Amino acid sequence: FAINMNQLQLDEELGKGNYGTVKKVLHKPTNVTMAMKEIRLELEDAKLNAIIMELDVLHRAVAPEIVEFYGAFFIESCVYYCMEYMDAGSLDKLQAAGVPEDVLARIAASMVRGLKFLKDELNVIHRDVKPTNVLVSRKGQIKLCDFGISGELDKSLAKTNIGCQSYMAPERIKGESQNNLGTYTVSSDVWSLGLSMIEIGLGRYPYPPETYSNVFAQLTAIVHGDPPELPEDKYGDTARSWVALCLRKDPEKRATYQELLAHPFLVHDRESSVDMVGWVKRSLDWKKAAALEAAKALLPQSV
């Protein structure tokens, strides 16, 4: 069925992305809470229609590791994209202190299964794997969102997508500078996956903070520097070797999803029980306390 704006009751804002805001909404006919992403595009109706049609493929993207798509519509050059509401938000905001190894393994396993599903079942390469595109629920579920399903939408957004923290694989950076687009392969997603794992493990973006405000320095470090590693004092050899397989600079030498799933790090995860619900709860409590501290710091001192 098709969703339209009249059926939605708008609730709070969940976050702001590069292209617009995400709001919590209630779909009144079904009483389902959803997340609605507004993407502002200055395009004519024909192009917007093409985008909506391409997004239709998403109805087939049903897997436990993929954020469910409910439907999309457009109003005055904005695309509104309705998806499953994930009540613990994105992974980047839950990981400030770094996560325990068993939780990291569970997150890694979910992401690999999700990426493998997209490739095998829909022939889709994600193209934008990073912690902000991994959503979490209080039930402890880990799901991927924001994958490049719509070529038309990608084209309309591509030029504005220069972040201050790049998850792009070295070959992508080199390829782009030679104007050699169209070389995106699964292995570039594997790099971004490895980098995301290190960010989650460290609690910060892995390349040095000096490079956050200097895109050129950052891209140079990715292309010419050694790949980052998980910290030795917090993670065992199995976890560290798994991540290293994702971050081989030569894309040909990087592990495939099959190999990543067969690695002891993820084999062990399948056999263990991990308290993901407890971890999500502690992370949300910590996030709330940190927000409260920050708010207090802004208040004038009482005398």
Q: What's the length of the chain?
A: 303
- The answer to whether 28 is annotated as binding is no
Closer of 95 and 263 to ligand ADP (Cβ): 95
Secondary structure E strands in the chain: 8-16, 21-27, 32-40, 69-75, 78-84, 134-136, 142-144
SS3 letters across 102-155 = HHHHHHHHHHHHHHHHHHHHHCCCCCCCCHHHEEECCCCCEEECCCCCCHHHHH
Closer of 87 and 229 to ligand ADP (Cβ): 87
Give which of 244, 257, 245 is closest to 114, Cα–Cα: 257
Q: How far is the CB of 244 from ligand ADP (least distance, A)?
A: 27
Choose, from 128, 146, 189, 269, the residue flagged as catalytic.
Answer: 128
Separation between Cα atoms, residue 96 and residue 94, nearest integer Å: 6
Which residues of this protein are in contact with ligand ADP, per CB under 6 A? Answer: 14-19, 22, 35, 37, 67, 83-86, 89-90, 132-133, 135, 145-146
Q: How far is the CB of 35 from ligand ADP (least distance, A)?
A: 3
Token pair of 6 as six digits: 């009249």
Residues paired with 40 in a beta bridge: 78
Closer of 68 and 171 to ligand ADP (Cβ): 68
Decide if 128 is catalytic: yes
Closer of 17 and 227 to ligand ADP (Cβ): 17
Q: Which residue is nearest to ligand ADP (CB)?
A: 17
Q: How far is the CB of 74 from ligand ADP (least distance, A)?
A: 17
Detail the residues annotated as belonging to a binding site for ATP. Answer: 37
- Catalytically active residues are 128
